[in-house]
Structures are given as structure tokens and as C-alpha cells.
Amino acid sequence: MSKVEEIYGSLVFNRITMQEYLPRGTYKELMTTIDDGEPINESLANVVAHAMKEWAIENGATHYTHWFQPLSGITSEKHDSFIDPVDDSHVIMRFSGKALIQGEPDASSFPSGGLRATFEARGYTAWDPTSYAFIKDEVLCIPTAFCSYNGEALDKKTPLLRSNKALKEQVQRALALFGEDVKHVMPTLGAEQEYFLISEEDYKKRLDLVLCGRTLFGYSPCKGQELEEHYFGAIRPTVSAFMKELNEELWKLGVPAMTKHNEVAPCQHELAPMFTNVNRAVDQNLITMELMRLIASRHGLVCLEEEKPFDHINGSGKHNNWSISADGKNLLDPGDDPIENLRFMVVLTCIVRAVDEYQDLLRMTTASAGNDHRLGGDEAPPSIISMFLGDELGRVVNAIIAGDDYHSNSNTKLDLGVDVLPNFDQDNTDRNRTSPFAFTGNKFEFRMPGSNQNLSDTNMVLNVAMADSLSKFADDLEGKTGDEFTAACKEWIRQTLTEHQRIIFNGDGYSEEWEEEAKRRGLSNLPNTAKALPAYVSDKAYALFDKFKVLNKEEVDCRYNVKLEKYCKIMNIECRTMKRMVRRDYLPAIEAYAAELAEEIASIEKVLGEGKAAGQRKRFEQIATGAEKIHELCDLLHVKHHEARDLEDAQEKADMYADIVIPIMKDLRAQVDELEIITDRKYWPCPTYNEILFYA
């Protein structure tokens, strides 16, 4: 057995471990709970809790925690020990079924978006048996949902689980029309995690990186990504050591980390796992992000998970590879001839409808302060939602809409023109990095989410939007059988694709022509977070979430408020940081260099005569003029920042940050960056892009 096989899942209470530690009957009962969603009773919980505790203690655990995802999007945990004092000299190790299935953390300090008042402190965590418990830092971590005293969801996991249930029910309805009785339906996810690694020494010298996770200033490096040599390039030893340790720790935790490589930008890298069910995949991605930050520090590095830590080069995304599995079959696998695969075409058509109908909601799920900086350039998709189907599938759709016959040219051979290289089958879909939502052969890749985002919201909306489309299909075709069903099914596909074909676009999403074309098609263009978030509280969104019991109105309002508050708080932090750096770092450095230049000019002209320091005078004028503009812009930013900060209405506050404050911040940055390249390096107060991105 290889080392990887030996360590894989060794710190996870997975099915293999359960079989070893649980009585056979208990194991079967628990599997029914996990696979079929049956409720868990206290007697079962007691047996499972005891087995889980014994296994955890054998693996060095001393504490347990209910590991959950509050609306902040990150994970939270409170550690309780297993010890139960017998007297003042002895303890026993105990863990009850009640402690396993329910916890009661103080909910008062977590984001609630007005769903509960601060004095209403009680909240509950509830065990999610569909996501395996694991051991981290000698603590047994039990994935849980988090809700208020009245049962409202205060977390990211609960709505995702509800949306999984809604999707399962509608897939079962739809497939029943094809004569298929499926038991297990689960959306699947593969989350490609991009990130930057930089020197910890450089990181500590940049207040913007420390407080904001991204640089607020910085002139473009002399060499960026234009040589295209970093992508898939040789991995530097320090990074390789980090990746090796990260993989080993992830494998112990049952995270199927598959691929590691350099990404396009300097210092940028990617980790891609194998697909699994969406609930577990989200949990595993959050574990991955936590470990990346921790392990980087052991190697003298800092892992930047912010979407756009550096201007002028690529930002980091988290590609959301989504599909649906029914009894182990991928419903997005088109088979040999897509047009003959009626079930596949129904599923595809439902997705086209879902993305078109709920494009605003999908856009909203990724909206954040960092997302605004990343979208629309440097290989990130634009803010306009569209779907890429590829050439062949696009021709299939066009043929269906037109009512024409289509003859597949699949399995076209690619001949590379070199005898020793094999010919191979050409894929039916190319890659289009400018598309937000692209079909990639047997899944859809949603490319808008940012590297630091929790993917629960995105997949919750995908699931419930798809459930809505499948529900419409089932409503329209239930009662039809045989040839009548087949004919009605084909007509439903044709009609639905005709109504929603506007969302399909296989071209360049960066082009100005596309922006104009999208407007003509009636597609939404929500360029920033302030414009995108109101989609959450639209009548259409309320109706969708209520129809499938995923979120009630209060829970929707709560999430909108939390996202709005977070955006405004981040903008407040970035404004304060920017002003602090300008006033205490950049202006003193620039003015000190200007004073040196003035002395140099005076000395030269004293010796050589007036006009003999023309070059120095020109630079001095540039410095002095630039410094004056920086003073003016910083003062203007201060005024407008305070105006925005003091607004009572959160949406108005967000709008002012987006429309007025951010343009001033961009102008101020540009002015400081211009002076960076003409100020003597010895005066510049922090590491530059050249130094940060090309550390030894």
C-alpha cells in the first residue's frame, strides 16, 4: 500500500471507519439517514457518538466542536473537551448523542442581517450526518447547520441542504416521465481553487495586504504575465514544499486533491479536487482554504485568497464545476449523439431556462467588493451572465430551434502532423475563458465566483433555479406517455430553447459589441455589488425561494442585509487604509524625496549656474505637482468617505461607495502609482510589485 493510500481519509469518520466502529445494525440505520434523509433518533445518536468519540480519542483528539458556517461565509468553531470530572482527582471521557446532534452556541455576535436582535443570543447547531466528521488540530470537528432560536437559518449550509432536497424532488418527477425511478439525486461540485503565495516578509510591510488582503496601490511590474511562462511552469522549491504538505494534510482529511500547478499570473497557483456531492465539496473547500493559510505560514509564505490582490495581472477565481448525479449517473453526460439523447436535452434545456430566468440571482451570488475588481478582464468573465455551449452543442440547439435535422460530427480526429504523435478525438467543446457559465463536456463551469468565496450561495441558487425549470417541465408533460410524451417533450425543448436562447453566447465576452448585443437581447448587466444585490430581494426571488421552501422572506432579507453590510464595511476599511497609507507613508516619502531634489537643484545651479539642472527641475515639478494632486484627492476621499459612511440606508451607502467613492480611490491610486516610478527607491515605504511578485 502506498503512503497516500495509507493516510487518505485517516482523520475522517467516513463509511469505512463507521463500519469498523459501529455495530452492523447501527451502521445500516445511519446509512439510511445519510442516503435517504431519514431522521436520526436519540438512541442511534448515542451509539454513533460513542463510536465517534472512541475513534477520535484513538487519533489524539481531546476536544470536539460543532463546525458551522455563519453568514460571514467562513467557518466557526467552539471547542469543548471530552472530559467529565468524576471527582476532584479523576475524569472520564464522555460524548453523548445529544452533544453530537445539537449544540447551543451564542448567536448574538454572528451576522444576522436583522433576523434577530443582539439580546436574542440563543442559537442552535444541528449535526449534518451527510458531511463526515473529521479531526483537525486534535479536535473532532462535526459539520453542523446553524439556526436561530425560532428555527430560521443563520448559516450557509442550511439553505444549500434545502435546495438539494428541492432539486432531488424535481429530478425524480422529471425522470419518472422517462420511466426512471431514481432514489439518490445529488448535485455535484468540483471547486477549482486559485490563490497567490507571497513572501511573509513582504506581506508584513504592506498595510493594505495585512488589512485588506489586496494591494490598494502599486505600479505595474516591469514583467507581468505577458511572456506566458508561469502557467504550468516549473514550480519553485518553496512553493513545491508548501504544495506537498498541503496535499498530505488534505488527503488525511479525505479531500481528494487531484491537480496542482502554477497559474497564469506570477505567484499564482491552483488546486483542483475531484468532484463530490455539493454539500461535502463546499465543506472540503473551506477546509482547504483554512489549511492553505496555515501551511503557508510554516514555509515563510502568506496565502492570499482575495480575488484581486494585484492590479494589472489576473485575479483568482474559484471555478464552480456543477452537475447533477442520479443513482450515480451524470445527467449532463450527453452520450454518443446529444440530439438523440432526449433526457440529456431536457436537462440541458432546463439549465438554459434556469440561467436565463434567474441570471440576476446568479450574478448576485458572487457579488462582493473583491469580485467588482476582478470581473471583466484578465481572463475573468464579464458581469453579464451568458452561457457557452461550444460549437457542436450550439449547432444542436440551433437545429432544434429551427426545426432542422442535425448530423453530428463528433469524434473528429485531430492530426498533429507528426508521425510519432497519436491522432486523438477532438472534444465537442472548446474553452472560453470570457464566458461566465460554460459547458465543458459533462458539467457546467460557473467562473464568476471569487477565490475567497463560500460556494454555498452559488450552488443553492443553481439548485433551486434548476428545480424550478424541472418543475415546469414536469407540470407541462405529466400525464403524457409513449409517442405522445416523446413528441411533446421535443416540442417543449424546442419552445423553451426558443424562448431562452438569448442567454447563449459563444463569442468574446470582453468585446464592446457583446455589451451592446447583450443589451439588445435584454440581458442584465450588473457591473458592481451595489447594483447586483437588490436582485436578492426582488419579488421573483422571494417567490422562487418560497416555492421550494429554501428561504422564507425574513431569511432572504437577512442575507441581503448581511451582504450589503459586509460590502460597506469592506469599503470603509479600504478607504481608511488608503488614507492612512497616503498620509503616513506615501506623502512623507514623496515629500522627503522632493526636498532632496530641491537641495540637489540648488547645489548644481550654485556651481554650474542657473538652468544647469533642467532634468532635476523637470522631475521636481512632476513630484511637486503629483504630491499636490495626491493631497487634493486624499482630502476629497476623506469627505466623500465620511458622507457615504454616515448614510443611514445601507443600499444608498453601497451605491455611494460604488458610484462616487471608488472612482476617487482609483484616481488617488493612479496618482500615487505614477510617483512610485519617479521617486528614489530608498524613499519608497513598502515593497513594490516587482519585489512582491518575483521573490527569490
Cα maximum dimension of the chain: 102
Locate cell 467588482: which residue? 372
How many whole angstroms separate alpha carbon 203 and alpha carbon 22? 48
How much is the pLDDT for 338?
57
Q: For residues 77-89, give the mean pLDDT.
A: 83
Q: Identify the pLDDT of residue 108.
A: 59
State yes or no: pLDDT of 406 exceeds 80.
Answer: no
Q: Do 123 and 115 contact (CB within 8 A), yes or no?
A: no
Residue 414: pLDDT band (50, 70, 90) is very low
Q: In this predicted structure, which of 254-268, 277-291, 353-367 has the lowest mean pLDDT?
A: 254-268
Beta strands in 52-199 (DSSP E): 63-67, 80-81, 83-85, 91-93, 102-103, 123-127, 134-136, 139-148, 185-199
Q: How does DSSP classify residue 76?
A: B
Mean pLDDT on 388-393? 90
For residue 430, which of 513, 329, 343, 507 has the smallest C-alpha distance? 507
Nearest to 326 by CA among 553, 172, 208, 464: 172
Q: What is the mean pLDDT of residues 267-274?
A: 95
Q: How far apart are CA 556 and CA 115, in angstroms?
A: 10
* Residue 203 CA: distances (Å) to CA of 206, 238, 299, 355, 686: 6, 16, 14, 40, 10
pLDDT of 636 = 98
For residue 275, what pLDDT band results from cuts at 50, 70 and 90? Answer: very high
Residue 421 has pLDDT above 50, yes or no: no
397 in Cβ contact with 389 (< 8 Å): yes
| Sequence-distant (≥ 6) Cβ neighbours of residue 167 within 8 angstroms | 185, 187, 324, 463, 464, 466, 467, 470
The angle that helices 342-357 and 157-176 make with each other, rounded to 10 degrees, is 140
User: Mean per-residue pLDDT for 335-350?
Assistant: 81
Which neighbouring-strand residues pair with 425? 413
Q: Which of 73-87, 258-272, 536-550 has the highest mean pLDDT?
A: 536-550
pLDDT score, position 232? 81
Q: Nine-digit cell at 239?
A: 512553493
Question: Where residue 88 falls among pLDDT bands split at 50, 70, 90?
Answer: confident
Taking residues 631-655, report their average pLDDT: 98
- Is residue 342 pLDDT above 80, yes or no? yes
pLDDT tens digit sequence for 631-641? 999 999 999 99
The DSSP annotation for 493-524 comes to HHHHHHHHGGGB--S-TTSHHHHHHHHHHT--
Average pLDDT value for residue range 399-412: 74
pLDDT per position as a tens digit, 151-185: 899 999 999 999 999 999 999 999 999 999 999 99
Whole-angstrom CA distances from 548 to 396, 411, 464 are: 32, 40, 7
419 band by pLDDT with thresholds 50, 70 and 90 = low
Q: What is the mean pLDDT of the chain?
A: 91
Residue type, 481: T
Residue 416: pLDDT above 80? no
pLDDT at 116: 54
**pLDDT number for residue 417:** 45
Task: Quickly count: other Cβ atoms within 10 Å of residue 56's Cβ.
Answer: 26
**Predicted structure pTM score:** 0.93
Residue 439 contacts residue 139 (beta carbons within 8 Å): no
User: Does the pLDDT at position 67 exceed 90?
Assistant: yes
Q: Given this model, what pLDDT does residue 418 score?
A: 47
b/e code 439-469 from CB counts within 10 Å (16+ = b): bbeebbbbbbbbbbbbbbbbbbbbbbbbbbb
Q: How many other C-beta atoms are found inside a 10 Å radius of the C-beta of residue 221?
A: 18
DSSP 313-358: S---BEEEEEEEEETTEETT---S-GGG-HHHHHHHHHHHHHHHHT
* Mean pLDDT for the stretch of residues 470-498: 95
pLDDT confidence of residue 107: 57
Percent of the chain with pLDDT over 70: 92
Per-residue pLDDT averaged across 610-622, rounded?
Answer: 88
